[in-house]
Amino acid sequence: MRDISTSVPKTDHWEKTAGTAKYVADLAPEGALHALTFRSPIPHGEIRSLVLPDLPEGYASVDARDIPGKNGVHIIQDDMPVFAERTLRYVGEPILLLVGPDKTVLKRLLSAIRLETVPLEPVFDDRRADVWHHYVKGDPDQAFARAKRIIEYEYQTGLQEQAYLEPQGMIAIPEGDKMTLIGSIQCPYYVKNAVVPVLGCTSDKVRVIQPPVGGAFGGKEEFPSLIACQAAVAARKTKRPVRLIYERPEDIEVTTKRHPARIRLRAAIGEGNVVEAIASDIRLDGGAYLGLSNVVLSRSMIATTGAYTVPNVSCSGEVYVTNTVPTGAFRGFGAPQIFFAVEMFFQHLAKDLGEDPLAFKLRHLAKQGDLTATSGTFRDPILVPKMVKRALEMSDYQNKTRRYSGESPYRGLGLSLFFHGCGFTGSGEATIIKAEVQLRKNADDTVDVLIAAVDMGQGAKTTLAKIVAHTLDLPLDRVRFPYPDTDVVPDSGPTVASRTVMIVGGLLEKAAQKLKARWVSGVAVQLTERYQPPEWIKWDEKAFRGDAYPAYSWGVDVVEVSVDPRTYQVKIEGTWSVYDVGKGIDERILEGQADGGMTQGLAYGYMENMEIKQGVLRQRNLTDYIIPTACDCGPYAVEWVENPFVYGPMGAKGAGELTLIGAAPAVAAAIENAIGRRIRKIPATPESLLELIEYGKR
Amino acid sequence: MANVNFVLNHTPVAVEGGLNRRLLDVLRTDFGLKGPKEGCGEGECGACAVLIDHRIVNSCLMPLANCEGKDIVTIEGFSETERFTVLQKAYSECGAVQCGFCTPGMILASESLLHANPHPTEEEVRIGLSGNLCRCTGYNMIVKAVLLAAKEGEGLW
Ligand code: FES
Ligand code: FES
Interval A549-586: pLDDT, tens: 999 999 999 999 999 999 999 999 999 999 999 999 99
- Report in angstroms the alpha-carbon separations of A50 from A99, A113, A465: 17, 7, 52
**Is pLDDT of A688 > 70?**
yes
Chain A residues inside the 8 Å CB shell of B40: 248, 621-623
Q: How many CB pairs under 8 A join A and B?
A: 169
Q: Decide if A30-118+163-254 and A337-425+544-695 have a common fold.
A: yes
- Cis ω before A628 (30° cut-off from 0): no
Burial of A467 (0-12, 13-18, 19+ CB in 10 A): buried
Q: Phi and psi (nearest 5°) for A273?
A: 55, 40
Residues B100 and B113: their CA atoms lie apart, in Å, by: 20
Q: How far apart are CA A572 and CA A578, in angstroms?
A: 18
Amino acid identity for residue A79 in this structure: D
Contacts of residue A440, defined as CB under 8 A and 6 or more positions apart, other chains included, come to A447, A448, A450, A524, A525, A526
Average pLDDT over residues A598-619: 97
Distance of residue A588 Cα from the nearest chain B Cα, in angstroms: 6
> DSSP assignment, residue B85?
H
Cα separation, A103 vs B29, in Å, equals: 13
pLDDT of residue A427: 83
Record the pTM: 0.97
Q: Tell me if B136 and A457 make a contact (CB, 8 A cut-off).
A: yes
Do residues A657 and A420 lie in contact, with contact meaning Cβ atoms separated by under 8 Å?
A: yes
- Among chain A residues, CA nearest to B134: A165
If contacts are CB pairs under 8 Å, which of residues 86-115 in chain B contact chain A?
Answer: 87-88, 91-92, 94-95, 97-104, 107
Distance CA B17, CA B11 (A): 19
> Which of A165, A572, A591, A607 should be substituted to probe chain B, the one whose Cβ sees the most B Cβ atoms within 10 Å?
A165
Q: Could you say which of B79, B130, B139 has the minimum Cβ distance to residue A634?
A: B139
Q: Name the residue among A662, A602, A688 with its Cα closest to residue A160.
A: A602
Please name the residue whose Cα sits nearest to atom 4 of ligand 2.
B134
How far does the centroid of ligand 2 lie from the alpha carbon of residue A213, in Å?
Answer: 10
Q: Do B40 and A18 touch (CB under 8 A)?
A: no
DSSP state letter for A377 = B
Q: What is the pLDDT of residue A407?
A: 64
* DSSP letter assigned to residue B18: -
Distance CA B36, CA A567 (A): 37
Is A483 an interface residue toward B (CB < 8 Å)? no
pLDDT (average), residues A29-50: 98
Cα of A18 from ligand 1 centre, angstroms: 18
State which CATH number among 2.60.40.1760, 3.30.365.10, 3.30.70.360, 3.40.50.720 fits the domain covering A337-425+544-695. 3.30.365.10
Q: What is the pLDDT of residues A309-338, one digit of tens each?
A: 999 999 999 999 999 999 999 999 999 999
Task: Quick: pLDDT tens for B48-99.
Answer: 999 999 999 999 999 999 999 999 999 999 999 999 999 999 999 999 999 9
CB B133 less than 6 A from any atom of ligand 1: no
CB atoms within 10 A of CB A139: 15
- DSSP for residue B27: I
**Domains of chain B: which residue ranges?**
2-77, 81-152
Nearest CA in chain A to B97: A13
Residue A529, pLDDT above cutoff 70: yes
Q: Is the pLDDT of residue A101 over 60?
A: yes
Q: Does A215 touch chain B (CB under 8 A)?
A: yes
Torsion angle defined by CA atoms of residues A236, A237, A239 and A242, in that order, rounded to the nearest 10 degrees = -80
Instruction: Spell A57-66 as b/e; 16+ CB within 10 A means b.
Output: eebbbbbbeb
Least confident of A72-76, A588-592, A636-640: A72-76
Angle B110-A630-A214 from CA coordinates, rounded to 5°: 75
Whether residue B61 lies within 8 A of chain A, CB to CB, comes out as no
* Cβ within 8 Å of B, A 30-69: none
Identify the bridge partners of residue A34 per DSSP, sorted by sequence position. Answer: A100, A243
Q: What's the CATH fold of domain A428-530? A: Aldehyde Oxidoreductase; domain 4 (3.30.365)
pLDDT at A186: 98
Sequence-separated (6 or more) residues with CB below 8 Å from residue A582 = A502, A551, A553, A642, A643, A644, A645, A648, A651, A652, A653
Return the CATH architecture of domain A30-118+163-254: 2-Layer Sandwich (3.30)
Question: Which numeric CATH code is attached to B2-77?
Answer: 3.10.20.30
> pLDDT-based confidence at A408, cuts 50/70/90?
low
From chain B residues 2-31, the ones with a CB under 8 A of any chain A CB are: 28
Q: Which residue of B26, B48, B62 sits with most ligand 1 atoms within 8 Å of its CB, as the best mutation to test the pocket?
A: B48
Which residues 132-171 in chain A show a CB within 8 A of chain B? 162-167
Residues 6+ apart with CB under 8 A from A633: A572, A599, B138, B139, B140
Task: Among 1.10.10.10, 1.10.150.120, 1.10.357.10, 1.10.3720.10, name the CATH number for the domain at B81-152.
Answer: 1.10.150.120
Chain B interface includes A250 (CB < 8 A) = no
**Residue A661 in this model has a pLDDT that exceeds 80:** yes
Residue A1 has pLDDT above 70, yes or no: no
Closest Cβ–Cβ partner in A163, A457, A630 for B129: A630
Which residues of A fall within a CB distance of 8 Å from B36?
A: 19
Asked if pLDDT for residue A128 goes beyond 90, the answer is yes
Gyration radius of chain A over CA positions? 25
Of A22, A216, A621, the CB nearest to B40: A621
Instruction: Tell me which chain B residues have a C-beta less than 8 angstroms from the C-beta of A10.
Output: 92, 97
pLDDT at A147: 98
Which residue in B83, B89, B140, B147 has the most chain A C-beta atoms within 10 A of its own C-beta, making it the best mutation to test that interface? B140
